[in-house]
Chain A
């Protein structure tokens, strides 16, 4: 090998090794010195397995002999042969046969890919951090959504969510020619409870009422706190006119004692008014007005725990 070629190979940023048919090293460039740990400046050429003992394994022996015989190129990836080279650095190895006069030679190129591995490790770390961040964001988004759409005291839908769902239910009822029921529920003597036992007691009563209403309704019904001590229930897809009575009866039969403070329990009394699309109105506001009126009539005429269908007004 002439001096210029030698010099050029020594300046390459990859390892170059040339071996003969017995895997004896004929040439190694300066880059390869990093594999000779004990004699860092010793460029004495031994055999390939002496330099890198991993090449003693049957797989490498067979592959290298096959490459010598058949002339096929080989590729050994750092990922699949992590332990081949005892070094922190990672190398891909490419093997090519060439002929020097009548002699078969193998050229081995060692390309450092440590940077790729490090980049991938960092990428994985970033992905993992992003995943955690994404989870946190989803949780926060859920919390924000909950704040925007749910009543913080009782956990049922707030007025915003009620209107959003009510419009959807109304459009579906129009489209499918279905009956949509709306209940207006008011807690009797709520002001008195507040004045007598305090606002904390009043809050406990409202939580209990929300629980009663939720338990009495079907899965697709929507219970919402309309404001103060007023609740609304949307009853979509009422097939038979009297179906709403089942819900009313469940509300009325529910256990009504709320423990408000110091073991004192207060009986909860509710007044319920009902209206229906399409007979009582074709907008949500009209249905609310009708159900509200029915509720007031129920409260005045029938006393606690009763309801008054809007069509009877």
Chain B
């Protein structure tokens, strides 16, 4: 099998298992059926000169709410759960059982930040946990930090990171009949990225 394909396949499986666990946990908490779908994993070519922000064109065009976990130890980097800010209110209402929202209710509150922090904690924990289990590494990290970004600033932040490589997972949350699109961006130092692929290749060799 082509090495590149193998890496994609194994990462897809890993992220799907992580997402599945996160979906089960979220479903139990909110007492609603929640499904998480990952349509595709994108690993942008750092040499191609394409801006990372271009990957999000059409998906996120306004403000974003981002829940970020920084991890260290065997791998160093950040995992970000990104939602378009205009969907956060609906998402929070669905997750916290608040019911319908007034259309004018657009200002973010502490509660919105808390809910996104917890969801980020669950989801990113599951993904990083699966990654750690699969390649048998230990990652150290704390609770997520939650912030609201202007999309342009967020893109600039990502594109400005030197010696970093990225993995992007576009995630769709299905809560009852409502679909909310988000993304997980895993931002690794280049050395960690190479280490990850070396460990994945080790798995292939062991099969």
Contacts and interface: CB of A to CB of B under 8 A. Distances in A.
Interface residues of B, number: 28
A74 interface: yes
A77 B115 contact: yes
Q: How would you classify the secondary structure of chain B's contact residues: helix, strand, loop or mixed?
A: helix
Interface size class of A (residues with CB under 8 A): 20 to 34
Contacts of A94: 143
Contacts of A92: 114
A73 B96 contact: no
B105 A124 contact: yes
Contact of A123 (B97, B109, B115): B109
Interface in B91-111: 92, 95-97, 102, 104-105, 107, 109-111
B173 to A, nearest CB: 14
12 contacts: A59-B29, A63-B25, A66-B125, A72-B125, A75-B143, A77-B117, A77-B118, A80-B96, A80-B118, A81-B29, A82-B96, A131-B102
A58 B125 CA distance: 17
B140 interface: yes
Interface string A73-95: 11111111110000000001010
Contact of B25 (A59, A127, A130): A59
Interface of B: 25, 28-30, 92, 95-97, 102, 104-105, 107, 109-111, 114-115, 117-118, 121, 125, 129, 132, 140-144
Given A66-B129, A74-B143, A79-B95, 8 more contacts: A70-B132, A72-B141, A73-B141, A75-B143, A77-B114, A79-B115, A80-B115, A120-B110
B141 A79 contact: no
A124 B102 contact: yes
A22 B73 CA distance: 28
A62 B28 CA distance: 12
A20 B111 CA distance: 30
A82 B142 CA distance: 24
A278 interface: no
A58 B109 CA distance: 29
A72 B120 CA distance: 13
B28 A73 contact: no
Contacts of A77: 111, 114-115, 117-118
Contact of A72 (B29, B96, B110, B129): B129
B102 A127 contact: yes
A94 to B, nearest CB: 7
A192 interface: no
A113 B105 contact: no
A128 B97 CA distance: 19
A66 B109 CA distance: 30
Contacts of A58: 28
Nearest to B119: A80
